């Protein structure tokens, strides 16, 4: 895998960082421990299971001071955390696929109550057909529910982003739940060299915990949480609208906060990740391919090879998928004449990848026609190889001169 | 002002005039067995029924006001009207003042004598009551509830919008008063928030932190709240007042999970046997044969008339017993003393683990009975054994708290409500059969668990 | 000028009940209780027992200072009402000060009526209406060798019994033909008389004192028949008269007592009256009667208090029913209801010479009008209810007369339901 760090020179690295070797699920667990949540609720599900096992072990070993609730299902997992958050707790869980689907009822409500819960989605494809393998279908399915969703590319980014996610979620201008998405199989089980930040440094980075200043279930400041609103009379409709508008404002604020937090992280820990949109070899690129998550490593290798072969192609990677980083993406898209978008899930309604569909909205705002096409790969654990990306690059390269296909290209269809 | 006191209640229908109470009183008070010297007097005869002459311990006692010697005083702690022998001048004016023959001349000693409820005795309880072989006398100690409750703050706002005659509001107010202000209250969708306890558009009906959980996750949310306060060393009660629908149907997983984890929650189910807030739909707690808006009455199809619910109710409290909760009990608002005893135990148990209270709460709107009949319907449910009042803890097992050994036929209960009006004789015999079966089942559990 | 919302004048049963009733409905309105007596409230009825020494003077008080403090009542003791200026809602006190009131209750009770016998102002005599009278009499009894009691009402009889027990030679002089006239009938009176004479007292009924003069031992009484009696202790107990001199010049209507309505209101707005000074509806008559007995005083006081406070629970006074209980030489006599036998009424009596048990009951149209007993205990309060409620006893009359205690209880226990 190619490193995801940008070309910007690193800051002087803090000396205390330990280097370890671990899988993505363990990295997430270590990140959670460093962020010091008060409560973790868990329910195991493939491929998330080793993550919560790591968390449980960290707590059992006294390396993490948190209450752990082995709930009887994901629905209760998130419900327990909602209660804890309303009582002032920093909270964490992880799930995926069917677990996320089962969780949907409290999941929707978490963002409405503006609870800064952090939840990893160890992404898994949707069933049926039956599958226990990776894919973005679960996270993509709930992209319109008001959670901030960020996708990691590497194991190190999983660890660092997990910590940053708490700070983003709890920022007073945001107060929204955050999903840290790490690709099932590829990141969850992929073992990699990881630099482990120092606890004291992380504590300094996190600052003071203050998660229920806005809404609380606390006898010291009694309030009714979530009384009935809406309807068509009195203050009902306007109350509901104010809430919804506030959620949307929080989502938009998060774009700025995500950038600020990533910048602070880079300053403190010397690792700089593109917060919203990463450009790779976009200097002088006539066209680009777009990626999300761990596939980006192979994609970057393919770009390097294509550049070596003289192709004027670059790469745009989305890290923050929700809220969709429209302005940042506009800047990158402004540079290209054609675009190929690779999704790891499907959008049933538009017969294309969901990220492609979202990107078309941004392309419209560009004010000029950019030929583009949708590629769907890596479903149900399938690998998107450098070879697949060369096919993507080739097809995209031809776009300005040939009509775009009406169907997406299914990369693993003939594997 | 406004204190309440313990009292001796008399059930004329149970008295056979045996006079054991008088013998017991005379023995304790005079050392003789001369019934005429008893402070409690049973009067009347077999043909016309027996009645009672006994000091009422009046709140505005005429005997005290007519005493010229300040020999009679109302003790405002015990409620007893006390007679001071050293001040009494034997003028008998008190006997002239009392319309109840509650104070009379004891010719054995030449002074007046009256019942003092034996309040100065070692157990502070009247000797006559346990002497009655027919339970015609009962020592009512519910005054404790009134007196204590009167001192506690009502933590719901006035004017909750419950249906007329609804006793859920009564139950809520009593419960939250007892549990107190250091509480987070969860009221999942249903009648409890429906009457405005969480509130509408910026107003609230509750003075403690209150919220709507989802119908499905009440126990889980409360668990998170309770655990966080425990973690930071704060004593906060986690209380749910939930409906039977959410608890027994869609919220059951969360309830069962929290019970299995022994979360420190007091979970009260107000069982009105259906989704009454949303228009009286069937729940798994709806009893067999009951009309609901989703088990309506009609001619049906294929020759099978639609005659109400075709399945028996799920017995949720027994299921909770099988979670081995710290405490499980059934209760009824018609038996407030029993309910309060259980509420106290449940509160204590919830400090150790999961406490579950299942309160049967007749619904005037959904069960179709007049709004003034709520307590009567609740009482009939118990008197017919349709509802059984018991409690369970892992140490003592299951025990009946108000056993009904001589139950009324279940029709006495069924006919009190419109929702059973259509029942066929077969359906009624099915219900009566289930009452017998359920009683036998619970009795067996009571026997097994306490053995 | 001092102002108060409620001014209650008097400090015995009627006044105290009124205070309680007012406070039941109005917890905060200013309330002043004015009494000419220097002591805390007590009952005149207990005084014979103070005389006998049975009741310790310090133990007879019906209320303590704390009661008045707790109930926010300003207690003004030792100050009599001198004049009522009803026209301007002001009470003029003996010390010349005035209290302005919104509502006033006159529960001023009664004082001994001193008969206009020639020479009475030349001799020293006792009366018994106040605690101070009682303590004086208590001291005098111990010294007395030969005492005369004028008047054989309950006060006189009580005192006579005490004098007998103290060892004095006692003569009771009564104008009426029997003792305890108006309380008990001739048979009961004869039983009482026998108890006294058995204990050494001399009873002179139908006798009138016509002259009094000082003598070496104390006083010489001359009777109508020319007999003279020497008394080292003379007690005048010939009845009482309502205290209402303060009404002179006021428009408050009064007759033998202060005339009141069924809610104890006088003829003047804002002025109520209750107790021994009030003349109110009688239960057995259409006219207004003096019914100076303790239970009636409490009833009237309560009604007056409720009316003054505007308590919506106010019920009208049903009319006075005579109620008396009298304890003598270890025996007791109880009378409830009318002693008069109207036309068409039936009188049932039974008397057992051996036990001295005597019972008399008067019925009309099946209803009880009055019941009297000597040494026959029954529940006076229950009997009173049977009379007030006009319960038809026709079906149980024989049983009732045979055992009024049991049958009365049986009836009342059903009537409650």
CB contact (8 A) between residue B223 and residue A39: no
Q: Which two tokens stand for residue A356?
A: 């492609």
CATH class of the domain defined by C2-111+241-309: alpha beta
- For C413, which of B51, B70, B110 is closest by C-beta distance? B51
Task: Classify residue B267: in a domain, yes or no.
Answer: yes
Put simply, the answer to whether B101 touches C412 (Cβ < 8 Å) is yes
Please give the Cα distance from A77 to A80 (Å, whole number).
5
- Please give the Cα distance from B435 to B405 (Å, whole number): 13
Number of domains in chain B: 2
Indicate whether B190 and B299 sit together in one domain: yes
Domain A277-410 falls under CATH 3.40.1710.10: no
Cite the beta strand spans of B294-408 per DSSP E: 297-301, 304-307, 327-332, 355-360, 390-393, 397-400
Question: What is the location of CATH 3.40.50.920 in chain A?
Answer: 277-410
Q: Which residue(s) pair with B49 in the sheet?
A: B45
Q: Please give the pLDDT value at position C231.
A: 95
Residue pair B295/B286 in contact by the 8 Å Cβ criterion: yes
Q: Which residues contact B26 (CB under 8 A, 6 or more apart)?
A: B32, B33, B34, B35, B37, B38
* Nearest Cα residue in chain B from C61: B70
What are the beta bridge partners of residue C212? C221
From chain A, the residues in CB contact with B208 under 8 A are 219, 222
Query: What does each C-alpha distance from A58 to A85, A173, B84, B447 come to in angstroms?
Result: 21, 32, 74, 46
Q: What is each CA distance from A299 to A78, A304, C270, in whole angstroms?
A: 35, 9, 103
Tell me if chain C has a CB within 8 Å of the CB of B182.
no
Is the Cβ pair C330, B110 closer than 8 Å?
yes
- Reported confidence tier of residue B1, pLDDT bands at 50, 70, 90: very low
| A89:B204 CB<8 A | no
Per the structure, the complete domain to which residue B416 belongs is given by 151-450
Contacts of B183 in chain A (CB under 8 A): 219
Whole-number pLDDT of residue C417: 55
Q: Which residues of A touch B205 (CB under 8 A)?
A: 224
Cβ atoms of A409 and A352 closer than 8 Å: no
Range from B169-178, B260-269, B330-339 that averages highest in pLDDT: B260-269
CA B448 to chain centre: 26
CA angle, corner A299, sides to A298 and A300, nearest 5?
90
Vertex B352 angle, CA B348 and B358, to 5°: 60
Same domain, B356 and B253: yes
Q: What is the mean pLDDT of residues A101-105?
A: 97
E strand residue ranges, B212-314:
237-243, 266-271, 297-301, 304-307
Residue C326: list chain B partners with CB under 8 A.
Answer: 91
Residue A230 pLDDT grade (very low, low, confident, very high; cuts 50, 70, 90): confident
Between strands A67-70 and A277-280, the pairing is: unpaired
For chain B, give the mean pLDDT.
93
Question: What letter does residue B292 receive in the DSSP assignment?
Answer: B
- The mean per-residue pLDDT over the stretch B277-302 comes to 95
B235 interfaces chain A, CB cutoff of 8 Å:
no
**How far from the centroid of its chain's Cα atoms is residue B339's Cα?**
4
**Are B191 and B276 a contacting pair, CB within 8 Å?**
yes
Angstrom CA distances, C297 to B59, C244, C280, stand at: 19, 16, 11
Residue B156 lies in a domain: yes
* pLDDT value at residue A3: 37
DSSP notation for B28-89: HHHSS--GGG-SSEEEEETTTEEEEE-----SS-HHHHH-TTS-EEE-TTT--EEE-TTT--
On whether the C114-238 domain is CATH 3.50.50.60, my answer is: yes
Per-residue confidence (pLDDT) for residue B9, from 0 to 100: 92
Chain C contact present for B97, CB below 8 A:
yes
Say if strands A148-151 and A91-95 run parallel, antiparallel, or are unpaired: unpaired
B233 in contact with chain A, both atoms CB, cutoff 8 A:
no
Strands A148-151 and A178-183, sheet pairing = parallel
Chain B contact set for C416 (CB, 8 A): 100
Candidate CATH numbers 3.20.20.70, 3.40.50.9100, 3.60.15.10, 3.30.390.30; the one for domain C330-415: 3.30.390.30
C357 close to B (CB below 8 A): no
Provide CATH 3.40.50.970 ranges for chain A: 18-213+248-269
A121-165, pLDDT tens digit by residue?
999 999 999 999 999 999 999 999 999 999 999 999 999 999 999
Element (H, E) at A289: strand A287-292
A335 touches chain B (CB under 8 A): no
Domain end, chosen from B95, B123, B141, is at B141
- Mean pLDDT calculated for residue range B145-158: 85
Q: Does B124 touch chain A (CB under 8 A)?
A: no
Tokens 């209801």 sit on residue: C337
Annotate C253-275 with DSSP letters as a single string: -BSSSEE--TTSB-SSTTEEE-G
Q: Which residues contact C58 (CB under 8 A, 6 or more apart)?
A: none
Q: Which residues of B touch A105 (CB under 8 A)?
A: 214, 216-217
Using the Cβ of C406 and the Cβ atoms of chain B, whether some distance falls under 8 Å is answered with: yes
Write down how long chain B is: 451
pLDDT tens digits, C363-407: 999 999 999 999 998 999 999 999 999 999 999 999 999 999 999
C-beta of residue B201 within 8 angstroms of C-beta of residue A229:
yes
Question: Pick from B89, B118, B141: which residue ends a domain?
Answer: B141
The chains found to touch A (3+ Cβ pairs under 8 angstroms) are B
Q: Which of B180, B228, B224 is nearest to B206 (CA)?
A: B180
Output the 3-class SS for A236-258.
HHHHHHHHHHHHHHHHHHHHHHH
Tokens in use for C386?
């049977």
**What pLDDT score was predicted for residue A11?**
52
DSSP string computed for C154-190: HHHHHHHHHHHHTT-EEEEEESSSSTTTTTS-HHHHH
The answer to the question of residue B2 being in a domain is: no
Cβ pair A289, A392 in contact under 8 A: yes
**pLDDT mean over B430-445:** 96
- A240-275, pLDDT tens digit by residue? 999 999 999 999 999 999 999 999 999 999 999 999
> What's the whole-number average pLDDT of chain C?
93
Contact A75 B208 (CB under 8 A): no
Contacts of C381 in chain B (CB under 8 A): 62, 95-101
d(CA B388, CA B321): 14
Q: In the prediction, which pLDDT does A12 show?
A: 53
* Segment C209-237 mean pLDDT: 94
Per the structure block, which two tokens stand in for A348? 């049933």
The answer, yes or no, to whether residue B450 has pLDDT greater than 70, is: no
Q: Same domain, yes or no, for B353 and B208?
A: yes
Residue of B nearest to A89 (CA): B228
Which tokens sit at B42? 């049973």
Contact across the interface for C406 and B62, Cβ inside 8 Å: no
| Chains sharing 3 or more CB pairs under 8 A with chain B | A, C
pLDDT at C183 (0 to 100): 85
Is C228 exposed, middle or buried, given 0-12, 13-18 or 19+ CB atoms closer than 10 A?
Answer: exposed
B135 to A222, B10, B12, B50, B128: CA distances (angstroms) = 47, 9, 10, 14, 11
Q: Which of A301, A303, A315, A290 is nearest to A375 (CA)?
A: A290
- Mean pLDDT, range C327-347, rounded to an integer: 89
Q: Considering Cα of C265, then C270, then C275, then C279, what sign does the dihedral take?
A: negative
Backbone φ, ψ for residue C346 (5° rounding):
-115, 135
pLDDT at A231: 81
Q: Which residues contact C283 (CB under 8 A, 6 or more apart)?
A: C318, C319, C320, C321, C338, C387, C388
Nearest to C295 among B70, B97, B101 (CB): B97
Q: What is the pLDDT of residue A2?
A: 38
Distance CA B315, CA B285 (A): 7
For A274, other C-beta atoms within 10 Å of its C-beta total: 22
Q: Tell me, what's the pLDDT at B210?
A: 97
Phi, psi of A78 (to 5 degrees): -70, -30
Q: Are residues B105 and B50 in the same domain?
A: yes
Q: Which of C337, C49, C322, C351 is nearest to C191 (CA)?
A: C351
Q: How high is the pLDDT of residue C244?
A: 95
Specify the residue for token string 């300040």: B70
Strands of B218-362, DSSP E:
237-243, 266-271, 297-301, 304-307, 327-332, 355-360
DSSP per residue, A101-145: HHTHHHHHHHHHTT---EEEEEE-PPSSSP--S--SHHHHHTTTS
CATH number for position B131:
3.30.70.20
* Mean pLDDT value across chain A: 94
CB A386 within 8 A of CB A377: no
Give ranges for CATH 3.50.50.60 in chain C: 2-111+241-309, 114-238
Residue B170 lies in a domain: yes
- Beta strands (DSSP E) in B274-416 are 297-301, 304-307, 327-332, 355-360, 390-393, 397-400
Bridge partners for A70 per DSSP: A42
| B323 and B275 assigned to the same domain | yes
**Is residue B146 domain-resident?**
no
Measured in residues, chain C has a length of: 417
* Boundary (domain end) residue, out of B88, B122, B141: B141
| pLDDT for A1 beyond 70 | no
CB atoms within 10 A of CB A219: 19
Task: Nearest chain B residue to C417 by CA: give it.
Answer: B51
Helix axes of A199-206 and A155-170: crossing angle, nearest 10 degrees: 30
Of C45, C379, C412, the CB nearest to B91: C45
CA neighbor of B172 nearest in space, from B159, B189, B154, B190 = B154
**CA C107/CA C14 separation, integer angstroms:** 6
CB-closest option in B51, B53, B92 to C334: B92
Overall average pLDDT of the B4-21 stretch = 92
Record: contact C381-B53, CB cut-off 8 A: no
Q: Over the stretch A56-85, which tens digit does the pLDDT of each residue have? A: 999 999 999 999 999 999 999 999 999 999
Give residue C143's region: left, alpha or beta (phi > 0; psi -120 to 50).
Answer: alpha
- B173 and B317 assigned to the same domain: yes
Give B 177-216 residues with CB within 8 A of chain A.
181-184, 193, 198-214, 216
**Percent helix, strand and coil across chain B, each to the nearest 5:** 35, 20, 45
| Count of pairs with CB atoms under 8 A, one residue in A, one in B | 155
Q: Is residue B72 part of a domain?
A: yes
In this prediction, residues B431-437 reach a mean pLDDT of 97
- Are residues B213 and A86 in contact, defined by beta-carbon separation less than 8 angstroms? no
Quick check: B197 pLDDT over 70?
yes
Q: Is residue B102 over pLDDT 60?
A: yes
Q: Mark yes or no for CB contact C294/B62 under 8 Å.
A: no
Check: CATH 3.10.20.740 for A18-213+248-269?
Answer: no
When CB atoms are compared, the residue of B201, B213, B214 closest to A228 is B201
């Amino acid at each position: 895998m190619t490193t995801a760090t940008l070309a910007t020179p690193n800051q002087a690295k803090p000396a205390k960082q330990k280097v370890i070797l671990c899988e993505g699920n363990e990295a997430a667990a270590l990140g959670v421990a460093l962020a010091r949540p008060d409560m973790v609720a868990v329910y195991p599900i493939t491929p998330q299971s080793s993550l919560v096992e790591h968390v449980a072990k960290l707590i059992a070993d006294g390396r993490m001071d948190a209450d752990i609730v082995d709930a009887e299902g994901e629905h209760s997992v998130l419900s327990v955390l909602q209660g804890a958050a309303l009582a002032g707790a920093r909270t964490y869980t992880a799930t995926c696929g069917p677990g996320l689907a089962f969780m949907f009822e409290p999941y929707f409500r978490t963002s409405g109550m503006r609870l800064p819960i952090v939840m990893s989605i160890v992404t898994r494809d949707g069933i049926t057909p039956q599958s226990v393998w990776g894919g973005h279908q679960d996270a993509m399915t709930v992209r319109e529910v008001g959670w901030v969703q960020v996708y990691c590319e590497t194991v190190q980014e999983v660890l660092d982003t997990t910590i940053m996610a708490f700070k983003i979620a709890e920022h007073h201008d945001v107060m929204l739940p955050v999903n840290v998405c790490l690709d099932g199989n590829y990141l969850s089980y992929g073992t990699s060299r990881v630099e482990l930040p120092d606890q004291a440094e992380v504590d300094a980075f996190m600052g003071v915990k203050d998660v229920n200043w806005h809404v609380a279930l606390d006898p010291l400041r009694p309030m009714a949480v979530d009384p009935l609103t809406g309807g068509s009379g009195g203050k009902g409709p306007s109350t509901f609208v104010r809430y919804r508008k506030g959620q949307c404002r929080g989502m938009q604020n998060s774009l700025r906060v995500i950038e600020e937090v990533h910048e602070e992280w880079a300053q403190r820990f010397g690792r700089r990740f593109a917060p919203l949109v990463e450009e790779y070899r976009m200097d002088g690129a006539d066209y680009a391919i777009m990626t999300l998550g761990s596939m980006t490593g192979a994609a970057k290798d393919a770009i390097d090879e294509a550049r070596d072969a003289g192709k004027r192609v670059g790469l745009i990677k989305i890290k923050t998928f929700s809220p969709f980083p429209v302005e940042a993406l506009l800047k990158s898209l402004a540079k290209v004449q054609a675009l190929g978008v690779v999704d790891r899930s499907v959008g049933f309604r538009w017969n294309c990848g969901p990220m492609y569909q979202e990107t078309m909205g941004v392309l419209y705002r560009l004010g000029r026609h950019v030929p583009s096409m949708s590629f769907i790969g890596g479903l149900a654990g399938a690998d998107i190889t450098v070879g697949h990306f060369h096919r993507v690059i080739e097809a995209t390269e031809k776009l300005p001169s040939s009509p775009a296909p009406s169907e997406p290209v299914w990369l693993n269809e003939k594997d | 002002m406004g204190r309440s006191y313990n009292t001796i209640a008399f059930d004329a229908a149970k008295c056979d005039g045996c006079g054991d109470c008088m013998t017991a009183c005379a023995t304790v008070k005079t050392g003789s067995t001369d019934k005429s010297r008893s402070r409690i007097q049973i009067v009347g005869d077999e043909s016309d029924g027996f009645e009672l002459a006994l000091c009422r311990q009046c709140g505005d006692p005429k005997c005290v006001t007519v005493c010229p010697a300040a020999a009679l005083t109302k003790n405002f702690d015990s409620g007893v009207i006390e007679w001071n022998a050293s001040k009494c001048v034997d003028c008998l004016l008190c006997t002239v003042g009392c319309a109840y023959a509650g104070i009379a001349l004891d010719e054995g000693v030449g002074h007046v004598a009256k019942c003092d409820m034996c309040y100065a005795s070692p157990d502070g309880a009247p000797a006559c009551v346990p002497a009655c072989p027919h339970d015609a006398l009962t020592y009512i100690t519910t005054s404790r509830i009134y007196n204590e409750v009167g001192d506690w703050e009502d933590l719901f706002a006035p004017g909750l919008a419950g249906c007329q005659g609804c006793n859920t509001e009564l139950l809520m107010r009593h419960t939250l008063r007892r549990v107190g202000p250091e509480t987070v209250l969860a009221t999942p969708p249903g009648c409890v928030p429906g009457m405005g306890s969480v509130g509408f558009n910026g107003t609230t009906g509750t003075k403690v932190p209150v919220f709507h959980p989802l119908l499905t996750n009440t126990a889980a949310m409360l668990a998170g709240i309770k655990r966080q306060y425990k973690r930071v060393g704060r004593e906060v009660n986690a209380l749910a007042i939930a409906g039977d629908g959410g608890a027994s149907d869609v919220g059951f997983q969360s309830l069962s999970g929290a019970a299995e984890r022994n979360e420190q929650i007091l979970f009260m189910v107000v069982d009105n046997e259906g989704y009454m807030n949303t228009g009286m739909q069937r729940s798994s707690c709806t009893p067999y044969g009951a009309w609901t808006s989703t088990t309506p009455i009609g001619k049906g199809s294929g020759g099978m008339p639609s005659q109400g619910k075709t399945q028996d109710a799920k017995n949720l409290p027994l299921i909770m017993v099988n979670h081995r909760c710290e405490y499980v009990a059934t209760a009824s608002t018609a038996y407030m003393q029993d309910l309060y005893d259980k509420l106290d135990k449940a509160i204590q148990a919830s400090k150790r683990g999961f406490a579950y209270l299942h309160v049967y709460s007749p619904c005037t709107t959904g069960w179709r009975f007049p709004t003034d009949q709520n307590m009567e319907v609740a009482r009939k449910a118990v008197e017919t054994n349709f509802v059984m009042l018991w409690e369970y803890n892992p140490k003592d097992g299951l025990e009946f708290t108000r056993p009904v050994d001589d139950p009324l036929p279940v029709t006495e209960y069924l006919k009190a409500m419109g929702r059973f009006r259509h029942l066929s004789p077969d359906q009624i015999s099915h219900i009566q059969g289930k009452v017998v079966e359920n009683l036998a089942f619970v009795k067996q559990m009571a026997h097994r668990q306490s053995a | 000028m001092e102002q108060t919302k409620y001014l209650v004048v008097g400090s015995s049963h009627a006044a105290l009940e009124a205070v309680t009733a007012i406070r039941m409905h109005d917890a905060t309105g200013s309330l002043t209780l004015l009494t000419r007596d220097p002591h805390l409230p007590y009952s005149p009825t207990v005084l014979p027992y103070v005389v006998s020494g049975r009741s310790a003077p310090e133990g007879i008080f019906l209320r303590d200072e704390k009661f008045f403090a707790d109930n926010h009542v300003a207690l003004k003791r030792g100050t009599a009402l001198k004049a009522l200026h009803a026209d301007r809602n002001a009470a003029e006190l003996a010390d010349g000060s005035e209290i302005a009131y919104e509502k006033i209750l006159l529960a001023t009770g009664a004082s001994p009526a001193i008969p206009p016998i020639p020479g009475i102002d030349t001799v020293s005599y006792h009366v018994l209406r106040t605690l101070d009278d009682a303590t004086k009499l208590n001291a005098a009894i111990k010294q007395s060798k030969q005492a005369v009691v004028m008047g054989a009402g309950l006060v006189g009889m009580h005192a006579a019994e005490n004098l007998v027990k103290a060892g004095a030679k006692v003569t009771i002089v009564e104008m009426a033909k029997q003792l305890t006239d108006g309380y008990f009938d001739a048979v009961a009176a004869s039983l009482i008389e026998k108890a006294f004479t058995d204990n050494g007292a001399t009873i002179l009924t139908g006798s009138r004192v016509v002259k009094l003069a000082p003598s070496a031992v104390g006083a010489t009484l001359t009777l109508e028949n020319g007999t003279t009696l020497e008394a080292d202790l003379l007690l005048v107990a010939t009845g009482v008269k309502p205290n209402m001199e303060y009404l002179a010049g006021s428009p408050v209507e009064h007759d033998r007592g202060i005339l009141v309505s069924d809610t104890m209101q006088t003829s003047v707005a804002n002025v109520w009256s209750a107790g021994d000074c009030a003349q109110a509806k009688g239960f057995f008559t259409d006219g207004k009667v003096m019914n100076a007995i303790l239970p009636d005083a409490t009833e009237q006081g309560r009604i007056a208090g409720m009316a003054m406070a505007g308590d919506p629970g106010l019920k009208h006074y049903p009319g006075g029913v005579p109620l008396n209980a009298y304890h003598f030489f270890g025996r007791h006599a109880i009378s409830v209801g009318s002693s008069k036998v109207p036309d068409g009424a039936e009188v049932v009596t039974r008397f057992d010479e051996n036990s001295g048990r005597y019972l008399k009951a008067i019925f009309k149209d099946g209803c009880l009008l009055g019941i009297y007993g000597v040494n026959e205990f029954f529940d006076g309060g229950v009997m009173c209810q049977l009379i007030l409620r006009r319960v038809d006893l026709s079906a149980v009359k024989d049983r009732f007369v045979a055992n009024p205690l049991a049958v009365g209880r049986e009836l009342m226990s059903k009537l409650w339901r």
